[in-house]
């Protein structure tokens, strides 16, 4: 497993933050509901949390949702 948060993990967390349904998130990521739930469960296990709420709070505390600054073209 690569170093977290990956770009894919950040995208998933941002979609979860919007309040979108699992079905909508899965559709956006082009994965099945089962795969989506497995990815969320893996993140919960990785961070040692039991709920999606805890996952969101800890991800925010770890600054996993921070958007990297864009490169300047000056």
* Contact between 40 and 12 (Cβ < 8 Å): yes
Token duo for residue 14: 């941002």
Beta strands in 1-74 (DSSP E): none
Determine the pLDDT at residue 39: 97
* Contact between 33 and 22 (Cβ < 8 Å): yes
Residues 24-70: tens digit of each pLDDT: 999 999 999 999 999 999 999 999 999 999 999 999 999 998 876 56
Residue identified by tokens 């770890």 is 62
Determine the pLDDT at residue 66: 82
Determine the pLDDT at residue 59: 95
Mean pLDDT for 20-27 is 98
Number of CB atoms found within 10 A of residue 38's CB: 12
pTM: 0.84
Q: What is the CA radius of gyration of the chain?
A: 13
Domain 7-61 part of CATH 1.10.10.10: yes
């Amino acid at each position: 497993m690569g170093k977290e948060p990956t770009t894919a993990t950040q995208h998933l967390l941002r979609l979860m933050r919007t309040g979108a349904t699992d079905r909508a998130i899965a559709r956006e990521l082009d994965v099945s509901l089962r795969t989506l739930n497995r990815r969320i469960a893996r993140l919960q296990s990785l961070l040692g949390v039991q709920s999606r709420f805890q996952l969101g709070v800890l991800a925010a505390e770890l600054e996993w949702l921070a958007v990297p600054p864009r490169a300047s073209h000056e």
